[in-house]
């Protein structure tokens, strides 16, 4: 496990300070605000810590017992989250996460989490957990035959080597191993490109077997590059003068089991932007082609250069 991944797992290991209240910290990085993926991951940890993890037990099966299609002892895992970024987070102080136990049902458990700093809400998340069930399946989207294996692609460090002295430490040293399918990352491109990019991602080291940890790591990683896609057709990067962006809301649906320490293909596109708001969409596939996660985000994107 790399040092960066070890630090991420420490960030996700929230401190319980009262019933339904947890405290999280931020890394000591030179950022003006807390990274949105960090807050989303920590909020999901807080929600998951209050959920009975074994479905179909007397603890949460309700009067009706085991839900249809589920077996006793089936795992309860997150299947969706919807979040709003309300205020910039202050990276110099801890974040408090207050969990509201909205519902404990036979098949579904719902939690609401509010992240608080300086007495104000900075982030709001609703998450739903589902007892694993058997059912019919289909999938209409595929990876495609033009995607090379992750191991055949250069690392982010290798791509950034020519400009390494100008790369912020938090960007170049990450807990997520990223391999860009199209070659150079958007930050090195000085020309306009279609608003679509593909990359292989995985945790930069082995993770525990807990499915909640894997979901939280992917939630963290999902916010690292999604809004970047909206800049590509304009030939802009975040380092350009007058360019400012921030996540406004973030939604994820977890379709099938996966491991975040195994290669996942993250396909991203931005179908529209107007009114200084960009919509970006992402599909995350396991290396065997299964669609495991869908992501949708709207972000604020202001520029005085165009």
List the catalytic residue out of 26, 107, 225, 297.
Answer: 297
3-state DSSP call for residue 165?
helix
Torsion of CA 123, 124, 126, 127, to 10 degrees: 20
3-state DSSP call for residue 177?
strand
Bridge partner residues of 15 (DSSP): 23
**C-alpha atoms less than 13 angstroms from C-alpha of 155 in its C-beta half-sphere:** 12
3-state DSSP call for residue 240?
coil
Q: Label the pairing between strands 264-274 and 196-203.
A: antiparallel
List the catalytic residue out of 26, 38, 222, 223.
Answer: 223
Report how far residue 174's alpha carbon sits from residue 203's, in angstroms, rounded to the nearest whole number. Answer: 9
Active-site annotation holds for 247: yes
3-state DSSP call for residue 181?
coil
Report how far residue 11's alpha carbon sits from residue 268's, in angstroms, rounded to the nearest whole number. Answer: 26
User: If you ran DSSP here, which 8-state letter would residue 226 be given?
Assistant: T
Residues 6 or more apart in contact with residue 138 via CB below 8 angstroms = none
Active-site annotation holds for 297: yes
Report how far residue 100's alpha carbon sits from residue 217's, in angstroms, rounded to the nearest whole number. Answer: 22
Nearest CA among 12, 79, 1, 3 for reference residue 221 = 12
List the catalytic residue out of 117, 247, 270, 280.
Answer: 247
Residues 6 or more apart in contact with residue 260 via CB below 8 angstroms = 202, 203, 207, 213, 214, 215, 217, 218, 221
Return the active site residues.
223, 247, 297
């Amino acid at each position: 496990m790399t040092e960066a991944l070890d630090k991420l797992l420490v960030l996700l290991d929230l401190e319980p300070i009262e019933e339904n209240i947890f405290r999280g910290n931020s890394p000591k990085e030179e950022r003006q605000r807390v990274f949105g993926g960090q807050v989303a991951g920590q909020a999901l940890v807080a929600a998951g810590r209050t959920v009975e993890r074994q479905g179909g037990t007397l603890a949460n099966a309700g009067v009706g017992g085991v839900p249809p299609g589920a077996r006793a002892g089936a795992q309860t895992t997150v299947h969706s989250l919807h979040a709003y970024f309300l205020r910039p987070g202050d990276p110099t102080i801890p974040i408090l996460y207050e969990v509201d136990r909205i519902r404990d049902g036979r098949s579904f458990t719902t939690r609401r989490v509010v992240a608080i700093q300086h007495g104000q809400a900075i982030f709001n998340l609703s998450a739903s957990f589902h007892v694993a069930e058997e059912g019919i399946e289909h999938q209409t989207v595929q990876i495609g035959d033009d995607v090379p294996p992750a191991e055949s692609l250069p690392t982010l460090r290798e791509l950034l080597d020519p400009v390494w002295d100008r790369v912020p430490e938090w960007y170049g040293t990450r807990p997520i191993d990223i391999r860009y399918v199209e070659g150079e990352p958007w930050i090195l491109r000085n020309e306009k490109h279609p608003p679509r990019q593909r990359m292989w991602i995985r945790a930069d080291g082995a993770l525990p077997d807990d499915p909640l940890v894997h979901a939280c790591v992917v939630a963290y990683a999902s916010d690292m590059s999604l809004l970047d896609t909206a800049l590509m057709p304009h030939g802009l990067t975040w380092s350009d003068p007058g360019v400012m962006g921030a996540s406004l809301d973030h939604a994820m649906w977890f379709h099938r089991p996966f491991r975040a320490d195994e290669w996942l293909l993250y396909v991203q596109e931005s179908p529209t932007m107007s009114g200084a708001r960009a919509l970006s969409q992402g599909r995350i596939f396991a290396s065997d082609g299964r669609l495991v996660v869908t992501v949708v985000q709207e972000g604020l994107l202001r520029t005085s250069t165009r």
